Structures are given as C-alpha cells and as structure tokens.
C-alpha cells in the first residue's frame, strides 16, 4: 500500500512541470486572444497615478495619531472611503516613519472581512494618505458611552466578540499580532458589522519566534506586555477579554467609568487584581471573560495551542454559526441609522497644532516614494466590479478597438499596432522580464 501510494505521488505532475507547460503553447495562444489584451487594459487602468484629484473630500470624521481622518469619494466610481492623513512633518518630528510604513504594508497584506482594507495610497504637499474602508457606523466607544446607558445587551456584545474572533484569526493566520484592541479601534459599517482598524502598533511575528515591547493603551495591555516579557498573540486574546467585559459592564475591567487613575495604578491592578462581575453577566459571559483575562498567558484561552478555534468553541458562542458569519450571512443585532452621524461634531474634534522647526529633505522623499504606491490590487478590483465600471472593457471589441480606446483615454497619438500594450506598460514600469508576485495575482480576475 505504501509503495503504491509513493509511486502514485511520484507520477503526479509537479508545480514546476505544470508551470513549464502553461508557459509554452497555452500562454502563446492566450497572448493572441482578446482576453489578454483586455487584461492588459485592466492593468493599465489599475496603474494610473493616484493623486488628491482622484477623490472628492468631505467632512472630518476624527483624528488619527498623525493627522485627521476624513470622508472621501472616488470621482470615477462614486465609491466612498475614509482618508487617513499622516502629516509629513508630524511623522518626522515623532520619528514615525517605520510605524507608518509598517501599518501600510500590513494593511496591503491582510484581506479580511473583519479588518479594514487599504485601497489607495497617495501624497499631497503636506501629508501621506491612506484610503481605507469607509465605516459609517462609528466606533464601539461611541456606541458604548454615547447612546443611552453605558454598555450593550449581552447578545450584541457576543456578536461583536464573534466577529472580533474572526478578525484576530485572519490576522494571526498572517502571523500578525495586533496589540491595540480597544473600543476606539473597532468600527461599524452601515449594516452593523465590525472591522478592526488602526494597525499602527501591529507587528509580524516570525515563524517560531516571539516579540516583545510595551505598546498598547493603558488599561488594555496584558500583564506580559506591562512586564516587558516575550509574547506572540496572547495580548490580543487579553484585549478581547477586556473588550467583552467593557461592552457588557459599561467600563473597562480595571478602571471605573470616568475614574481618574494614574497609569502606574492601572498597571498594578492589571497585574494583581481580579476583575469584578455584576448581574449583567450571564454565566457564559463571565466564564469567557475570566478565561481570556487569565494573568498567565500560557493558561489563557486562545493561547493553549489551538488559537481562535478554542475561543470559538466557548459556550458563549453557542448561538453563533461561524461559517455563516464568515460568509457575511448573519444579520447583526444592531443596524446603524443611515441618517445618523455616529461621531463627534466637527466643531468638537480638536485641531492639530502646527508642527514647527521640522524641515523635509531628500531622504524624506525616498521614504515617501516607498510609501506611495497608488492602488492596492484586490480592493481596487473589487471597487471596479461593485461599481460595474468593468463594463467599460468592451468584450465585443477587437484588439485594435481596445488599443484605440486606451490611447484615446491616455491622450496618446501613436498609431495602433500589434504589441502596443507591451511598450505602453513597459514605459509605465508595469511590466518586467520577471513579473512580481503582486503583478501575477490579478490574473485570477
């Protein structure tokens, strides 16, 4: 039996064999077909420069670490996004280049229904801009404290906790530790689903290694983070416990609502005190909070070898069908009012002070060139599909008609002829002798 299985595996074509075959005659036929020409037209459009004029800009929604966050709309498709502005001088003054680039690269890498997506990056004279998923429903902090009595009914809190489990699972699948789970960073969309946002403190954990660093928000940092110990993903499961507690109780587990406490005292409570539970908690809700808020990370739920799977199996989620949740087929317990604004009034959002004494030079320009890369392929393609703009690629047109259409849009005066797209895309830097992984992925569209 083993011999026959081994011989069967040896007879299977390897990935290299398949690649070599497809790169021969099948690919030559594909290059001669109208489908290849339309694919190049698609990629040409994707690679168009992105500037502030690509968007219409609307009201300020809030503040980020380095600048404002405002609503914006893509002029060509009508798609709404949130534009997170990172002021160049503020970045340089706070030596935040590595943090900004790290957030941008992680956002490019993660494609999850439960984490905000990065669609575009561009720059203005004063700012670097991240164009992200628009979340019209506001953040969980606003909902917990500004709409009625603090806190949620347990059913609603459990639903958000289930979606957070899925988001953390997607991040950990890419070996990313989030490290800043708190109500301010959890946003609601117009249907009432949540997404994790603000990945500025997130960090990739190398396979088989651990990381360390006292980062996060006071009151939400795990004991091992406060104590400068090594860790992997344990702080995120602690953060989930803090968040579930706060959603139900109406205040964090180690600080009362509006209580003024010094940082040192909060950290002492986190490491030494046990959280208190009121009658608002069911037995299952109390159980999952205690298991997630276990001081020893080795004993904490989610850290005992099975990750998100063991958290999802907790009885508090007995009414959640995670397969349907991940497929976006469950109706949230709360749906934001489309006519309401779930954020502070523009006049209540504090203005950033002017940064003085900081001068930008050529080294900064090198950093900006690395940061600003235009469209992110998958979100851009989804936008084009959702807005039905892909119908502009006339499927009944001939190759010469498609080439002429691209030349007309580009304002080119070159006479259409075979292989025009090759020269056009090579001049734009879109094609090389050995395509990168990023360039190869959209062939599945």
**Is residue 100 classed exposed, middle or buried when 0-12, 13-18 and 19+ CB atoms within 10 A define those classes?**
buried
310: CB partners within 8 A, 6+ apart:
301, 302, 304
- Please report the DSSP string for 196-251 in residue order: E---TT-EE--TT--B----S-TTTS-HHHHTT--BSSHHHHHHHHHHHHHHHHSS
H runs (alpha helix) in 296-389: 308-312, 322-326, 362-371, 377-386
Measure the N-to-C terminal CA separation of the chain; round to a whole number of Å.
41
- Please answer whether residues 47 and 26 qualify as being in contact, where contact means their C-beta atoms are separated by less than 8 angstroms: no
| Those residues with Cβ within 8 angstroms of residue 150's Cβ, 6 or more apart along the chain or in another chain | 144, 250, 251, 257
Return the structure tokens found at 439.
């360039």
* Residue 117: DSSP 8-state: P
3-class DSSP state of 355:
coil
Look-up of token digits 């534009």: 83
Q: Give the CB-side neighbour count of residue 236, counting CA atoms within 13 A.
A: 28
In the set 126, 139, 170, 180, the catalytic residue is: 180
Token digits for 158? Answer: 């459990």
From the centroid of its chain, how far is CA 222? 23
283 is a catalytic site residue: no
Query: Pairing relation of β-strands 176-177 and 203-204?
Result: antiparallel
Angle between helical axes of 34-46 and 25-32 (0-180°, round to 10): 70
Q: How far is the CA of 14 from the CAs of 9, 19, 20, 99, in angstroms?
A: 10, 9, 10, 41
Alpha carbon distance 263, 267 (integer Å): 6
**Scanning the structure block, which residue is given the tokens 């030559």?**
28
Structure tokens at 250: 């109406």
| Residues 221/201, Cβ–Cβ less than 8 Å | no
Backbone angles phi and psi of 27, in degrees to 5? -70, -35
Task: Provide the annotated active-site residues.
Answer: 180
């Amino acid at each position: 039996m083993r011999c026959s299985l081994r011989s069967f595996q040896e007879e299977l074509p390897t990935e290299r064999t398949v690649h070599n075959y497809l790169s021969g005659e099948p690919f030559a036929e594909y290059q001669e077909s109208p489908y290849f020409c339309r694919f190049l037209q698609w990629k040409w459009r994707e690679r168009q420069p992105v500037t502030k004029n690509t968007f219409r800009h609307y009201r300020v929604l809030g503040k980020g670490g380095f600048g404002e966050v405002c609503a914006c709309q893509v002029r060509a498709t009508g798609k709404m996004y949130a534009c997170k502005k990172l002021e160049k001088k503020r970045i340089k003054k706070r030596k935040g280049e590595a943090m900004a680039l790290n957030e941008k690269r992680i956002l490019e890498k993660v494609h999850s229904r439960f984490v905000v997506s990065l669609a575009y990056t561009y720059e203005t004279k004063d700012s670097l801009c991240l164009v992200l998923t628009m979340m019209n429903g506001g953040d969980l902090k606003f909902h917990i404290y500004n709409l009625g009595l603090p806190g949620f009914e347990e059913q609603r809190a459990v639903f958000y906790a289930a979606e957070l489990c899925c988001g953390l699972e997607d991040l950990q699948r890419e070996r990313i530790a989030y490290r800043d789970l708190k109500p301010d960073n959890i946003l609601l969309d117009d249907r009432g689903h949540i997404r994790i946002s603000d990945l500025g403190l997130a960090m990739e954990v190398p396979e088989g290694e651990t990381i360390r660093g006292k980062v996060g928000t006071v009151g939400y940092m795990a004991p091992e983070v406060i104590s400068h110990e090594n860790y992997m993903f344990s702080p995120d499961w602690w953060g989930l416990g803090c968040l579930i507690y706060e959603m139900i109780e109406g205040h964090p587990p180690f600080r009362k609502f509006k209580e003024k406490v010094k940082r040192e005292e909060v950290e002492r409570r986190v490491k030494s005190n046990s959280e208190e539970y009121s009658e608002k908690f069911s037995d299952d809700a109390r159980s999952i909070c205690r298991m997630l808020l276990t001081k020893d990370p080795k004993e904490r739920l989610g850290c005992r070898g099975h990750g998100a799977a063991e958290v999802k199996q907790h009885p508090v989620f007995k009414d959640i069908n995670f397969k349907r949740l991940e497929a976006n087929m469950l109706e949230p317990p709360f749906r934001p009012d489309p006519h309401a604004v779930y954020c502070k009034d523009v006049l209540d959002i504090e203005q950033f002070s002017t940064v003085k004494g900081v001068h930008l030079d050529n080294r900064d320009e090198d950093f900006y060139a690395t940061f600003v890369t235009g469209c992110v392929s998958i979100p851009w393609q989804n936008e084009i599909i959702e807005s039905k703009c892909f119908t502009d690629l006339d499927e009944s047109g001939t190759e010469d008609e498609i080439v002429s259409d691209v030349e007309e849009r580009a304002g080119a005066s070159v006479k259409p002829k075979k292989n025009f797209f090759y020269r056009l895309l090579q001049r734009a830097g879109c094609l090389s002798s050995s395509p990168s992984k990023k360039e190869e992925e959209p062939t599945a569209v």
